[in-house]
Amino acid sequence: MIAVFLEHHEGQLQKGSLGVLSKAATLDEEVAGVVLGPGTKELAAEAGKFGAVKVFVAEAPELDAPLPQPRVDALAHLVGEQDIDAVLFGASVLASDVAAGLAARLDAGLNWDLVDLESKDGSLVAKRPALEDSVYVDVGWTSEPRLALFRPGAFDPAETGGEAEVEELTPGFEEFSTAATMVEQAHEESSGPSIEDADVIVAGGRGLGGPESFSLVEGLAKALGGAVAATRAVVDAGWYPYATQVGQTGKTVAPKLYIACGISGAIQHKVGMQGSGTVVAINKDPNAPIFEFCDLGVIGDLHEIVPKLTELVQQRKAA
């Protein structure tokens, strides 16, 4: 049986883990979801819609705070009690910590930064980008349980309309696992969707000329109902927050529409957004690398083009 760690936040299962669950359901008829935390039993039905035939739920108070070690205890208990031969995770800060801790606890193999998974001759084989995402390599496991951590946006959630059987877990917790206490959890103040969940992303690069020009990007993103992203160079310069960084050292996104404003398109940025449905590039440099892989390129001054584009979008919405 394949088990998928289903991360949740503010009463909702996260898109990344639901995407992994949907993918797993295409490979195994018996896929289980795992939801951990007090008051999460009601989320089990939601998991059934995305392919889980069974959902294991643990509502112990030790799982209240989003800390990794109690979750490692719960998953280790599950693997020990059930016929689980693979545990899959959608990458996030918490899930990455849990996956690494579970690998150490079970002395199990963990493959990470994965973008696909398939079954070959009864064995699971995953794909991982290599050489700065210029090639893909097949990776496997030599023992069970097989642990896998997938890039954000690797899979889209797909509803199948199924129902899941709910089974409660009563794991024990190691003393060291409950030694840490979360005293405060800060939430970034933002409006609109996050870049991981947005269907439309408008991203700004050094071609904007300065941090004040990000108002152009923000205006277009607001008009389109999308999110704002930035390149590493912009973040390093202090123009925009790190949480919005897309690229090899930032986040991986896969929106339906990605509009790159003043972005050259270096490989380090490309690897973070190449899964986008449609890529539109606006740049005054006709030799910018981004024009080699974008779907639509506009050569010109973004300071003139972006405001006009925003105005056209607003007019279309008002019509």
Q: What is the mean pLDDT of each run of 10 residues along the chain (319 residues)?
A: 92 90 90 93 87 94 94 96 94 93 96 92 89 84 94 85 89 92 72 80 95 95 94 94 87 91 91 90 95 95 96 89
Strand 123-130 relative to strand 135-139, pairing: antiparallel
The per-residue pLDDT for 134 is: 74
Helix (H) or strand (E) holding 45: helix 44-48
Contact 148, 154 (CB under 8 A): no
Write out the residue limits of the CATH 3.40.50.1220 domain(s) in the chain. 200-318
- Give the closest residue to 124 by CA, choosing from 47, 35, 52, 23: 23
Cβ-proximal residues to 178 (8 Å cutoff; 6+ apart), any chain: 62, 69, 70
Fold classification of 200-318 is Rossmann fold (3.40.50)
Residue range(s) occupied by CATH 3.40.50.620 in the chain: 2-178
| Predicted model pTM | 0.78
pLDDT in the model for residue 187 = 61
DSSP percent split of the chain into helix, strand, coil, nearest 5 = 35, 25, 40
Burial of 11 per CB tally in 10 Å (0-12, 13-18, 19+): exposed
Distance CA 210, CA 237 (A): 9
Give the CATH number of domain 2-178; options: 3.50.50.60, 3.40.50.620, 3.40.50.300, 3.40.250.10.
Answer: 3.40.50.620
Greatest extent of the chain over all pairs of C-alpha atoms, in Å: 62
Supply 180's token pair: 């840490």
| Cβ atoms within 10 Å, residue 32 | 25
Provide the pLDDT for residue 250: 84
pLDDT at 142: 92
Structure token digits, residue 19? 């995407």
Q: What angle do CA 144, 145, 150 make, to 5 degrees?
A: 120
Length of the chain measured in residues: 319
CA end-to-end span of the chain, whole Å?
52
